[in-house]
Structure 1
Amino acid sequence: MPQKSRSALLARAERSASAAMPLPPVTNSRPPGTVYRGETFSRGKPFNRVARRNPVQASRSWIARNRRLTVALLLCLATGIAVQQMTPESQLRVNVLVAARDLPTGTSLTESDFANVAVAPELAVSGSVTDAGVLVGRQLASPLGKGQIPAESNLLGPGLLTGAPLGSAAVPLRMADPSSIQLLSPGQLVTVVLTSAGSYDEPKQSEVLAGPVPVLWTSAHGGKAGEWLGTSDTEGLVVVAADPQQAEKLAGASTQGKLFFVLVSP
Structure 2
Amino acid sequence: MRVIRLPGRRLLARRHRLLATVLTALAMACAVAGLRPDTSSVTVLAAARDLPGGVLSAGDVRPLALPPGTAPEGALRPGTPVAGRVLTGPVRRGEPLTDVRLLGPGLLAAHGPQTVAAPIRVADPGSARLLSPGDVIDVLAAPTGWDGGPAPARVVAEDVPVLAVPESGSDREALLVLATTSEQAVELASAQAGGRLSITITSRGVSSGNDQGMAG
The alignment's TM-score, normalised by the length of structure 2, stands at 0.63
Deviation per CA, 1:225-258, whole angstroms, max 9, x where unpaired? Answer: xxxxxxx999432221102232232123212222
Identity of paired residues, percent?
36
- The CA deviation at 1:210 is 0.9
Match among 61, 78, 89 for residue 113 of structure 1: 61
Residue of structure 1 equivalent to 2:75: 128
Partner Cα separation in structure 1 for residue 96 and residue 136 of structure 2 = 25
Deviation per CA, 1:58-111, whole angstroms, max 9, x where unpaired? Answer: xxxxxxxxxxxxxxxxxxxxxxxxxxxxxxxxx844332233333332252324
Indicate conservation of the 8 Å contact 2:47/2:60, yes or no: no
Residue of structure 2 equivalent to 1:265: 203
1:147 counterpart letter in structure 2: G
Out of 108-117 and 122-131, give the one that drifted further. 108-117
- C-alpha distance 252-204 of structure 1, shift in aligned 2 (>3 A): closer
Residue of structure 2 equivalent to 1:173: 120
Indicate conservation of the 8 Å contact 1:178/1:236, yes or no: yes
Residue of structure 1 equivalent to 2:193: 255
Indicate conservation of the 8 Å contact 2:107/2:163, yes or no: yes
- C-alpha distance 93-108 of structure 1, shift in aligned 2 (>3 A): closer
Partner Cα separation in structure 1 for residue 190 and residue 143 of structure 2 = 13
2:187 counterpart of 1:240: no
1:160 counterpart letter in structure 2: L
1:177 counterpart letter in structure 2: D
The alignment's TM-score, normalised by the length of structure 1, stands at 0.53
- C-alpha distance 234-128 of structure 1, shift in aligned 2 (>3 A): farther
2:80 counterpart of 1:100: no
Q: Which structure would you say has the larger Rg?
A: 1
Bigger fraction of residues in helix: 1
Indicate conservation of the 8 Å contact 1:111/1:132, yes or no: no
Partner Cα separation in structure 2 for residue 98 and residue 161 of structure 1 = 21
- The CA deviation at 1:265 is 1.6
- Tell me how many residue pairs correspond in the alignment: 165
- Superposed counterparts of 1:1-266, under 5 Å: 92-106=40-54, 108-111=56-59, 113-120=61-68, 122-198=69-145, 204-219=151-166, 222-223=167-168, 235-266=173-204
Structure 2, unpaired ranges of 5+: 1-38, 205-216
User: Superposition RMSD on alpha carbons, in Å?
Assistant: 3.1
1:254 counterpart letter in structure 2: Q
Higher-RCO chain (CA-CA 8 Å, sequence separation at least 6): 2
